[in-house]
């Protein structure tokens, strides 16, 4: 019993050493929500979410977001024992989230603090208002495009498709990746991080600037694919950002895009074994992407066939061009000024990450304005999410 007490006392003393409390205590620190944009293919333990799950790691990145600082500087400012600061810095450096120069460190990502939000918020809201007005003006052109497509024949009305179109238009599926690349607005190429991947890192202290941070998850093969839009998810077992469709999943799904089939027909047609098919179908039914009634399987999501893709992507690209030319291009110098006004000048390498984060925030706030104005419904927070499929080798997020 005495030995257990000594062990517990030692553990609590270690916690006390990490946050020494000479200036502040642990409860004075806000968490920092870290997000990644791009591709990660490295060690799981070094991915941005794992390597920043500790509050101390988040606070270090926030502390060195704008200028180079030594371990001593960080230790003094955070009231954390230098030993733990050095350990976390080495871990973050290995994850390629910090850069070291002459014994000092700076974040390799854009981390927005609470004070920064006061400067950024009015700016992004103003542009988001302009974008939402353009979207409302262009709803008729989207409806004309819808009328030329096969969605009504598939059983999806304009009202059902309108929110999907608007979300697709605003998200980086079209505006930020396709549109910005075409019009030379912001970088489409995240920085290469050693052998870990190619991605931007964004972080925000405390509450997000936007109410509806809508995100997407895309999986595709040459013959087609599937995408999920999600927001403020509440089902941890079906976290949409973690859903991965195998090639077998997609082969079965794309086969069902054409017509209803039985399990046996799928097995024969797709040349897969029974166990693989059953496992894939179970996942797809659970996600609300296909239905299984009386042993008849069919998709319950809208599908962009080849002609639909051509029609809708042309409509999306035209609207993106209007948004970019009327709201984004005129504000490029203002965004650069905002970067320096927030104090990020010493971390110039992160300007593209900042620019991208600002544009993503703007389109998410534009989405919020459209939802609150009853132009589109709120995105679902659990399965079935907003999901769609397509056939052919179409790249939504070029």
What pLDDT is recorded for position 154?
Answer: 93
Residue 397 to residue 267: CA distance in whole angstroms: 32
300-328 pLDDT tens trace: 999 999 899 889 988 988 898 899 899 98
Q: What are the structural domain ranges in the chain?
A: 2-108, 119-196+211-307+378-391
Whether pTM exceeds 0.85: no
Return the structure tokens found at 349: 């390498």
Residue 30 to residue 275: CA distance in whole angstroms: 47
Whether the Cβ atoms of residue 106 and residue 98 lie closer than 8 Å to each other: yes
Q: Is 308 helix (H, G, I), strand (E, B) or coil?
A: helix
Question: What is the percent of the chain with per-residue pLDDT over 90, rounded to a whole number?
Answer: 44
| CA max distance for the chain | 78
CATH class of 119-196+211-307+378-391: mainly alpha
211-239 pLDDT tens trace: 877 777 788 898 898 888 776 655 555 55
Q: Is 389 helix (H, G, I), strand (E, B) or coil?
A: strand
Residue 341 to residue 322: CA distance in whole angstroms: 28
CATH topology of domain 2-108: Arc Repressor Mutant, subunit A (1.10.10)
Q: What is the mean pLDDT of residues 265-284?
A: 88
Whether the Cβ atoms of residue 123 and residue 74 lie closer than 8 Å to each other: no
Higher pLDDT, 286 or 31: 31
Lowest mean pLDDT: which of 89-98, 299-308, 370-379? 370-379
What pLDDT is recorded for position 166?
Answer: 87
Q: Are strands 215-221 and 290-293 parallel, antiparallel or unpaired?
A: unpaired
Q: What is the mean pLDDT of residues 345-355?
A: 91
Q: Is 224 helix (H, G, I), strand (E, B) or coil?
A: strand
Q: Fold identical between 2-108 and 119-196+211-307+378-391?
A: yes
110-168 pLDDT tens trace: 999 999 999 999 999 999 999 999 999 999 999 999 999 999 999 999 998 998 888 87
How would you class 132 by CB atoms within 10 Å of its CB: exposed for 0-12, middle for 13-18, buried for 19 or more? Answer: buried
């Amino acid at each position: 019993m005495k030995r257990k007490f000594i062990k517990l006392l030692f553990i609590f003393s270690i916690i006390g050493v990490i946050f020494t409390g000479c200036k502040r205590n642990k409860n004075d620190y806000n968490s920092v929500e870290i997000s990644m944009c791009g591709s990660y293919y490295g060690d799981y333990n070094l991915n941005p979410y794992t390597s920043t799950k500790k509050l101390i790691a988040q606070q270090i990145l926030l502390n060195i977001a704008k200028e180079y600082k030594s371990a001593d500087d960080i230790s003094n400012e955070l009231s954390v024992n230098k030993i733990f600061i050095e350990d976390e810095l080495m871990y973050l450096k290995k994850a390629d989230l910090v850069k070291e120069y002459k014994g000092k460190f700076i974040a390799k990502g854009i981390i927005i603090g609470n004070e920064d939000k006061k400067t950024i918020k009015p700016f992004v809201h103003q542009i988001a208002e302009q974008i939402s007005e353009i979207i409302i003006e262009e709803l008729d052109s989207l409806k004309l495009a819808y009328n030329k497509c096969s969605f009504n024949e598939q059983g999806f009305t304009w009202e059902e498709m309108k929110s999907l179109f608007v979300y697709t238009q605003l998200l980086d599926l079209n505006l930020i990746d396709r549109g910005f690349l075409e019009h030379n607005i912001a970088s489409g190429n995240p920085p290469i991080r050693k052998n870990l991947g190619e991605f931007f890192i964004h972080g925000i202290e405390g509450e997000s600037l936007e109410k509806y941070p809508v995100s997407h998850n895309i999986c595709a093969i040459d013959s087609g694919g599937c995408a999920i839009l999600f927001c403020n998810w509440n089902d941890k077992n079906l976290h949409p950002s973690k859903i991965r469709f195998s090639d077998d999943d997609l082969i079965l799904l794309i086969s069902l895009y054409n017509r209803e089939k039985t399990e046996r027909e799928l097995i024969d047609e797709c040349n897969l074994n029974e166990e693989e098919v059953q496992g894939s179908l179970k996942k797809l039914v659970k996600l609300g992407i296909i239905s299984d009634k009386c042993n008849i399987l069919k998709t319950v999501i809208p599908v962009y066939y080849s002609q639909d893709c051509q029609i809708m992507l042309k409509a999306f690209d035209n609207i993106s061009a209007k948004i970019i030319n009327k709201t984004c291009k005129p504000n490029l110098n203002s965004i650069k000024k905002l970067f320096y006004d927030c104090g990020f000048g010493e971390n110039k390498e992160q300007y593209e990450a900042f620019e991208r984060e600002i544009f993503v925030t703007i389109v998410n706030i534009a989405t919020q304005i459209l939802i609150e104005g009853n132009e589109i419904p709120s995105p679902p927070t659990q399965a079935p999410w907003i999901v769609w499929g397509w056939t052919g080798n179409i790249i939504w997020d070029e």
